[in-house]
Amino acid sequence: MKITPDASLLPYNTFGINAMADYLIEYNSVAELQDFLKSEPVISNRILHIGSGSNLLFLNDFKGVVLHSLINSITKVNETSGSVLLEAGSGVIWDDLVAYCVENGLGGIENLSLIPGEVGAAAVQNIGAYGVEVQDLIRTIKTIETASGLEREFSTAECRYAYRESVFKSSLKGKYIITSVIFELQKQPEFKLNYLHLEKEVIKNGEVNLKNIRQTIIAIRESKLPDPKTAGNAGSFFMNPVVSKEKFRTLQSEFPQMPHYYISEAEEKIPAGWLIDQCSWKGKSIGNAGVHDKQALVLVNRGGATGSEIVHLAEQIQHSVKERFGIGLQPEVNYI
Ligand SMILES: Cc1cc2nc3c(=O)[nH]c(=O)nc-3n(C[C@H](O)[C@H](O)[C@H](O)COP(=O)(O)OP(=O)(O)OC[C@H]3O[C@@H](n4cnc5c(N)ncnc54)[C@H](O)[C@@H]3O)c2cc1C
C-alpha cells in the first residue's frame, strides 16, 4: 500500500486541476483495501475513490482520503463454446482490457476502444460509445462495502443501469468500492456498426473484423477529441438530454434540422453538442476555461484553469441552452 500525505491530484485528473488531498492511498489488493477500511473508523464523506480522474472536476482541495486501486489483473474465469468470462481488476486501464480482448479474438467490447479511465469506474459510469454500453458486457461486480470492509457481489440487474447511470452514482454513491468486474465476451461476435458512419469508415479501412473496428474507432476518436495531455478535459461535459415526444415535436417544428435519436415511443434523445453549437459556444472561452473548437460538448482547460472557472463556463452554457431551447443540460462530469 502506498500512502502519500498532502498529495497533489494534478496527475490524477485529466482536466489538469491542481487540487490537493490530505492523503492519497493506493492499494494493490482487496486484502490491503480491507485492512485500511477496518483499521480506523471510516467516515464515508471523507473518502473519495478515484480511477484515472477522467470524469472528475475538483472544485476545491479534498479534505479527506483519496483511494486508488492498483488491482490490475485480467483472468479467465469460465469459458463455453460461445463465450468467455473475464475478471478484470478495478485498476486495469479500460483500453488495455479492450486491447487484450481484441488481441485474443473476443468481441462485444471493441466499440468502447480508447475510452479513458479504469475498469472500476467504467462500471460506475456505464460508459458507452458507438451504440454499445458496458452494461451489455457486465455479468458480476465485486465490491467492498466502505463502512464495514465486507465483500458484496452485485448482479447486472442490481446495478440499475441506465444512460451513464448506475446505483453506484445514485443511492449507493460512495458506499461500495468496486474491486473487480466480470465481463462476458463473445467468441463469434455480431459486430455493431450501425452507429452514424461507422460501417462505412471500417470498410474504407479494410476487412470487417475486431482489429479493424478497433483501429477505425481509435482513429475517429483521435481526430475528434482533444488529448487531455495537451488540453485538459473530461470528454463529454454534459449528458445528451432525453425529451418527451411532445416536447421534441414542438422543437422540431421550430428547428427542423435538429438531429435526434429514437429512444422509445415516448422519448427522443438530442445531441447536447448540437444544442451548445447552436448557441455559438464552439471555440469560445471565459478566462482559462474554453469550449473545444471541434466538439462543443467538450470543455477544456486552456491552461491553469480552476474547477470554479470550468463550472462558471458550464453554467453560462446551461443558461444559453435553457433560454433558446427550454432544455436543462445535466453535467456528465462528477463535481468534487
Ligand atoms: C477525452 C475523453 C473522452 C471520453 N469519452 C467517453 C466516451 O466515449 N464514453 C463515456 O462513457 N465516457 C467517456 N469519457 C469519460 C470517462 O472516460 C469515463 O467516465 C470513465 O469511466 C472514467 O474513468 P476514470 O477511471 O477516469 O474514473 P474517475 O473519473 O476517476 O471516477 C469516475 C467516478 O467513478 C468513481 N469510481 C472510480 N473508481 C471506483 C471504484 N473502484 N469503485 C467505486 N467507485 C469508483 C469515482 O468516485 C467517480 O464518481 C471520456 C473522457 C475523456 C477525458
Q: What tens digit of pLDDT does each residue of 209-219 get? A: 999 999 999 99
Q: What integer pLDDT is reported at residue 45 of this predicted model?
A: 61
Active site residues: 164, 236, 332
* Nearest to 151, CA basis, from 40, 25, 34, 38: 34
Q: Judge if the beta carbon of residue 321 lies within 6 A of ligand 1.
A: no
- Mean pLDDT (the chain) is 95
Q: Are residues 262 and 185 in the same domain?
A: no
> Residues 148, 134: one domain?
yes
Please give the average per-residue pLDDT across 176-200, as a whole number. 95
Total of domains in the chain: 3
Q: Is the CB of 331 under 6 A from ligand 1?
A: no
Please name the residue whose Cα sits nearest to atom 28 of ligand 1.
Answer: 53
| Residue 106 sits in the same domain as residue 188 | yes
CA–centroid distance, 122 to ligand 1, in Å, is 6
Position 41 pLDDT exceeds 70: no
User: Do 172 and 212 lie in a common domain?
Assistant: yes
Rounded percentage of the chain residues whose pLDDT exceeds 90: 94
Do residues 290 and 300 lie in contact, with contact meaning Cβ atoms separated by under 8 Å? yes
- How many angstroms is it from 199 CA to the middle of ligand 1? 27
- Asked whether residue 208 carries a pLDDT value surpassing 80, the answer given is yes
Looking at residue 119, its pLDDT comes to: 98
Among candidate residues 13, 45, 69, the one where a domain is terminated: 69
- CA of 328 from ligand 1 middle (Å) equals 23
| 102 and 57 fall within a common domain | no
- Per-residue pLDDT averaged across 188-193, rounded? 96
- 11 with 139, same domain: the answer is no
| Residues 28 and 121 grouped into a single domain | no
Residue 125, ligand 1, Cβ within 6 A: yes
Say yes or no: CB of residue 127 within 6 Å of ligand 1. Answer: yes
Please indicate, yes or no, whether residues 88 and 194 belong to a single structural domain of this protein: yes
We report the CATH number of the domain holding residue 307 as 3.90.78.10
**108-124 pLDDT, tens digit each:** 999 999 999 999 999 99
In a shared domain, residues 51 and 34: yes
Residues 104 and 205 both lie in one domain: yes
Burial letters for 2-36: b for 16+ Cβ neighbours within 10 Å, e otherwise? eeeeebebeebbbbbbebbbebbbbbeebebbbeb
Q: pLDDT at residue 304 above 80?
A: yes
Query: pTM for this structure?
Result: 0.94
Answer yes or no: is the C-beta of 13 below 6 A from any ligand 1 atom. Answer: no
Confidence of residue 330 (pLDDT cuts 50, 70, 90): very high
Q: Give 207's pLDDT tier (boundaries 50, 70, 90).
A: very high
Query: What is the domain extent for residue 201?
Result: 74-224
**Position in ligand 1 atom list of the atom nearest CA 178:** 42
